[in-house]
């Protein structure tokens, strides 16, 4: 099992990958990617049982569904660093003839991706479906999903939120990246989500909250989430993060949702992030 | 011409109900989902026999499509079921991303398609679904013509790996195809051989085409009828072979004239074999309330409508 220091080193490299990938093609979404880095590193390098040999059906493995597909730079970096495909391929992100499409695609057969995402609001339903199949296959591994907070404005999320507790989908841990930002500004101004804990609890979920940008805290939060599974209720982890975490000028600013850094900004960003595993 | 005696009338949705039950018996991975229309989709028998393989999603079709896509991770073969309108237009983006683009092995099964839904009116009578579905890359689109063919198609798509849209309907019509027919996706059925005109028909219009051909025969016109149950992939060779013989074609479908089978045939002919074509289809309008028979007559989708189209196309062929 990777210790916290090791996970932090991986996270630093993944953050370098993210800003370099987005800079390299002058396109992509660094803000949410950086904010969710600690969570996804914890998930893939400690919490989940998974095999980079990639069995698409995930039999006997935990599986992850990325619903907010625009944080693909993070997803790709973590998959590559975990051994799903060569790290060098990260340089092809969003470029022509690449398996690393702007938003995750199964179409290009990139190992580690089991579902297309990008059009928001669909991943909770997909995760629920995968969780049902796990139960029917007597597979006791878990399904994890990640969603943006702005994404919760999509109605389909609430169809899923209603369905999962009614059907006792208790092998599912849904994490919401509560960073309070979306493209047009703060979520509270664009379309307030109100009291998310109360909403999910009212729908019948087991709700917990976590700090997403502290490796020790997010790692233990995920361990805690696992202890809540198998008790008849789906688990909702409201994870508080800062968009752009790790790069000071990108932090907490919705302008970095989908903007690429220029050369100077890249240099500033990389100076804040240690190269721990070697750049691609 | 060939005779099509029948002993009973049934709805195609009942063919789906029997087909999914038999597919479920054959393959334990076949699972069903429904959005609050179990009785309308004839799913009772499947649910009774396989209660643990059925998922009731409530009135939440977007969620149903997403759940079905997710269920394929781990090897299940989900059949979603609701009315055709809620199976397509309501959930187009969900199908596009989580089913078609993702290439998941989901079977979208859609009842009450077209005008023959009847009295509920235009909100429910989708006439654009074939077009929407056939535009999705990789989507197989099937519209069977009677109870037996729907049953056979339902069983066949369970064996096929990939996304499928299966469209059927509500009205009770003659059961005139072979109960033991083999169903091959993408393979047209030669209903009746003829020499003067090719009628390419799908769904409920196949029976109407037979009625039309019988009347045309009395007037000395020999109609070849081809049943295209698979709109996509289209059996191009079967159509070209027939049109090379007859020199003209009438397409017949319970769908808007834009986007349906007629469009596909026209695109084929314009690129491979120029020939006059007439469309029996809804002329870019919504439907309305009425009995199925009244609606099919009013919108020209019956045997009389087909006969009129045949006469128009023959005139153009001779010109």
Q: Report residue A201's pLDDT band, with 50, 70 and 90 as the boundaries.
A: very high
Query: What would the pLDDT profile of B158-190 be if each residue is shown by its tens digit?
Result: 999 999 999 999 999 999 999 999 999 999 999
**Is B74 close to A155, i.e. CB distance below 8 A?**
no
Q: Report residue A1's pLDDT band, with 50, 70 and 90 as the boundaries.
A: confident
Q: What is the pLDDT of residue A200?
A: 98
Annotated catalytic residue, options B22, B61, B253, B278: B61
Q: What is the pLDDT of residue A253?
A: 85
How large a percentage of chain B has pLDDT more than 90?
100
Mean pLDDT of A219-242: 98
Mean pLDDT of B247-256: 98
Distance CA(A59)–CA(B211), nearest Å, equals 53
Give the length of chain A: 280
Residues of chain A with C-beta less than 8 angstroms from the C-beta of B138: none
Distance CA(B206)–CA(B251), nearest Å, equals 10
Query: What would the pLDDT profile of B255-306 be if each residue is shown by its tens digit?
Result: 999 999 999 999 999 999 999 999 999 999 999 999 999 999 999 999 999 9
Q: Which helix (H) or strand (E) holds B185?
A: none
Query: What would the pLDDT profile of B292-302 be if each residue is shown by its tens digit?
Result: 999 999 999 99
**Is A156 close to B76, i.e. CB distance below 8 A?**
no
| B289: Cβ contacts below 8 Å, ≥ 6 apart | B118, B119, B120, B121
Which residue of chain A has the CA closest to B97? A116
| Shortest Cα distance, chain A CAs vs residue B157, angstroms | 20
Tell whether the model's pLDDT for residue A196 goes beyond 90.
yes
Mean pLDDT of A193-212: 98
Partner A, chain B 62-91, Cβ-Cβ below 8 Å: 62-76, 78
Tell whether the model's pLDDT for residue B319 goes beyond 90.
no
- Which of A107, A131, A159 is closest, CB to CB, to B101? A107
Q: What backbone torsions phi and psi does residue B115 show, to the nearest 5 degrees?
A: -60, -30
**Is B71 close to A119, i.e. CB distance below 8 A?**
no
Q: Report residue B314's pLDDT band, with 50, 70 and 90 as the boundaries.
A: very high
Distance CA(A30)–CA(A19), nearest Å, equals 6
Mean pLDDT of A76-104: 98
- Which of A131, A139, A159 is closest, CB to CB, to B63? A159
Tell whether the model's pLDDT for residue A175 goes beyond 90.
yes
Tell whether the model's pLDDT for residue A252 goes beyond 90.
no
Residues of chain A with C-beta less than 8 angstroms from the C-beta of B105: none
The reply to whether B61 belongs to the active site is yes
The residue among A255 and B140 whose pLDDT is bigger is B140
Test the A interface: residue of B28, B50, B57, B70 with most A CBs within 10 Å: B70
Which residue of chain B has the CA closest to A155? B62
Nearest Cα neighbor of A72 from A42, A123, A107, A116 is: A116
Q: What is the pLDDT of residue B22?
A: 98
CB A247 within 8 A of CB A213: no
**Is A126 close to B69, i.e. CB distance below 8 A?**
yes
Nearest Cα neighbor of A131 from A62, A51, A47 is: A62
CA distances from A173 to A123, A139, B202 (A): 12, 16, 46
DSSP B136: S
**Is B74 close to A118, i.e. CB distance below 8 A?**
no
Q: CB of B94 within 8 Å of any CB in chain A?
A: yes
Query: What would the pLDDT profile of B193-248 be if each residue is shown by its tens digit?
Result: 999 999 999 999 999 999 999 999 999 999 999 999 999 999 999 999 999 999 99
Partner A, chain B 99-138, Cβ-Cβ below 8 Å: 101-104
Q: What is the pLDDT of residue A134?
A: 98
Q: CB of B50 within 8 Å of any CB in chain A?
A: no
């Amino acid at each position: 099992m990777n210790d916290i220091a090791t996970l932090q080193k991986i996270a630093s490299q993944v953050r370098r990958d993210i800003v370099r990938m987005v800079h390299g093609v002058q396109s992509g979404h660094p803000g949410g990617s950086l904010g969710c880095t600690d969570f996804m590193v914890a998930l893939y390098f400690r919490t989940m049982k998974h095999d980079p040999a990639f069995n698409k059906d995930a039999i006997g493995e935990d599986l992850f569904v990325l619903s907010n597909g625009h944080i693909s730079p993070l997803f790709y970096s973590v998959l590559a660093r975990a051994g799903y495909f060569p790290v060098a391929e990260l340089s092809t992100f969003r470029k022509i003839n690449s398996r690393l499409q702007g938003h995750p695609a199964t179409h290009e057969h990139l190992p580690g991706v089991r579902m297309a995402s990008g059009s928001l609001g669909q991943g909770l339903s997909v995760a629920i479906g995968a969780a049902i199949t796990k139960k029917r296959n007597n597979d006791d591994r878990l399904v994890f999903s990640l969603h943006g907070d702005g994404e919760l404005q999509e109605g389909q999320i609430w169809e899923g939120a209603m369905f999962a507790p009614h059907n006792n989908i208790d092998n599912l841990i849904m994490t919401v990246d509560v960073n309070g930002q979306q493209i047009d500004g703060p979520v509270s101004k664009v379309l307030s989500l109100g009291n998310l804990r109360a909403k999910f609890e009212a729908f019948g979920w087991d709700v917990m909250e976590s700090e997403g940008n502290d490796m020790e805290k997010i790692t233990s939060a995920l361990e805690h989430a696992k202890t809540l599974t198998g008790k008849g209720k789906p688990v909702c982890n409201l994870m508080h993060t800062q968009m752009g975490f790790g790069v000071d000028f990108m932090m907490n600013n919705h302008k970095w949702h989908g903007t690429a850094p220029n050369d100077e900004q890249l240099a500033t960003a990389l100076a804040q992030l240690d190269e721990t595993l070697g750049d691609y | 011409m060939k005779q099509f005696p029948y002993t009973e009338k049934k709805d195609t949705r009942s063919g789906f109900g029997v087909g999914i039950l038999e597919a479920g018996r054959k393959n334990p991975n076949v699972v069903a989902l429904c959005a609050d229309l179990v009785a309308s989709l004839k799913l009772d028998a499947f649910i009774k026999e396989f209660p643990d393989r059925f998922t009731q999603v409530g009135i939440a079709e977007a969620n149903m499509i997403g759940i079905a896509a997710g269920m394929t991770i781990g090897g299940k073969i989900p059949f979603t079921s609701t009315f055709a309108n809620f199976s397509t237009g309501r959930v187009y983006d969900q199908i596009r991303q989580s089913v078609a683009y993702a290439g998941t092995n989901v079977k979208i099964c859609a009842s009450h398609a077209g005008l023959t839904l009847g009295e509920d009116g235009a909100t429910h009578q989708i006439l654009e679904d074939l077009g929407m579905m056939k535009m999705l890359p990789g989507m197989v689109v099937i519209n069977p013509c009677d109870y037996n063919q729907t049953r056979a198609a339902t069983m066949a798509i369970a064996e096929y790996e990939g996304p499928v849209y299966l469209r059927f309907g509500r009205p009770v019509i003659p059961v005139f195809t072979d109960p033991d027919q083999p169903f091959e996706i993408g393979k047209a059925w030669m209903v009746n051989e003829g020499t003067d005109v090719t009628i390419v028909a799908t769904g409920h219009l196949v029976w109407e085409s037979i009625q039309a051909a019988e009347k045309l025969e009395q007037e000395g016109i020999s109609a070849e009828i081809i049943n295209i149950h698979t709109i996509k992939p289209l059996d191009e060779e079967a159509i070209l072979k027939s049109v090379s013989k007859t020199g003209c074609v009438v397409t017949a479908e319970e769908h808007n004239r834009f986007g349906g089978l007629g469009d596909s045939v026209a695109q084929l002919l314009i690129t491979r074999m120029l020939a006059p074509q007439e469309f029996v289809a809804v002329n870019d309008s919504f439907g309305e309330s009425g009995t199925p028979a009244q609606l099919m007559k009013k919108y020209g989708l019956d045997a009389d409508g087909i006969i009129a189209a045949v006469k128009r196309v023959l005139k153009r062929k001779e010109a």
